[in-house]
C-alpha cells in the first residue's frame, strides 16, 4: 500500500515497460523477418512531477524511488524509450482502471476505436541512428 501518487506512477511505468520489453522482443522478430521498421516506445503520463523527473532529470525526496527514476532515465537516454510525453489528464485512458467516475477517453475509445490525446509537453530530441543499423 502506498500513499504517494508519484510512487504509483513510477511503479506503473516500470511494470508496463517490463511487459513492453517482452512484447517488443516478439515484435522485433516479426518486423525483422518482414523488414519493417522497429516499434518504438512512448511513455505517457498525466503527472507533471513524474514527467519533470524523467525529462529534466528532476529528483525526489523518496529514496526508494531514485533507483527506478534513474533506470527509466537511462532507458530514455539509450533511446529504448523513444519519447516521454506529458498528456492532458482527461485523455488518460488508463484512468478508467483506477478512478471511480466514468472516463470520457475510454467511452470514446470503445465507441469509435480511436483515441485522441492532447499532449501538454514533450521533449524534441534530434534523431540519432540506432546502433543496430
**Between the CA of residue 6 and those of 66, 71, 132, what are the distances in Å?**
11, 15, 34
Mean pLDDT, residues 44-69: 76
- Does residue 39 fall inside a structural domain? yes
Domain residues for 29?
5-88
How many other C-beta atoms lie within 10 A of the C-beta of residue 46? 19
Angle between helices 48-55 and 5-33 (to 10 degrees): 60
- pLDDT tens digit sequence for 88-133: 777 777 777 777 777 778 888 888 888 777 777 766 654 444 434 4
Please report the pLDDT score of residue 3 as a whole number.
63
Average pLDDT over residues 69-84: 80
In a domain, 122, yes or no: no
Number of independent structural domains in the chain: 1
Q: Is residue 93 part of a domain?
A: no
Residue 123 lies in a domain: no
102 falls within a domain: no
Does residue 131 lie in a domain region? no
Which whole number is the average pLDDT over 66-76?
Answer: 80
DSSP secondary structure string, the chain? ----HHHHHHHHHHHHHHHHHHHHHHHHHHHHHTTPPPPPPEEEES-HHHHHHHHS----S-HHHHHHHHHHHHHHHTTSS-EEEEE-GGG-TTHHHH-SS--HHHHHHHHHS-----EEEE--PPP---TT-
- Let me know if residue 104 belongs to a domain: no
Beta bridge partners of 44: 85
User: Which of 8-12, 22-26, 40-44, 99-103 has the lowest average pLDDT?
Assistant: 99-103
Determine, yes or no, domain membership for 67. yes
Residue 59 confidence (pLDDT): 64
Amino acid at each position: 500500500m502506498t500513499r504517494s501518487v508519484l510512487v504509483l506512477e513510477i511503479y506503473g511505468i516500470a511494470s508496463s515497460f517490463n511487459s513492453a520489453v517482452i512484447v517488443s522482443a516478439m515484435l522485433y522478430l516479426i518486423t525483422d523477418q518482414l523488414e519493417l521498421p522497429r516499434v518504438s516506445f512512448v511513455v505517457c503520463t498525466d503527472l507533471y512531477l513524474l514527467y519533470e523527473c524523467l525529462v529534466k532529470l528532476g529528483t525526489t525526496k523518496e529514496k526508494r524511488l531514485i533507483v527506478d527514476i534513474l533506470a527509466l532515465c537511462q532507458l530514455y537516454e539509450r533511446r529504448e524509450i523513444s519519447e516521454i510525453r506529458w498528456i492532458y489528464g482527461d485523455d488518460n485512458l488508463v484512468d478508467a482502471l483506477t478512478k471511480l467516475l466514468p472516463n470520457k477517453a475510454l467511452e470514446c475509445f470503445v465507441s469509435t476505436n480511436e483515441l485522441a490525446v492532447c499532449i501538454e509537453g514533450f521533449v524534441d530530441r534530434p534523431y540519432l541512428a540506432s546502433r543496430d543499423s
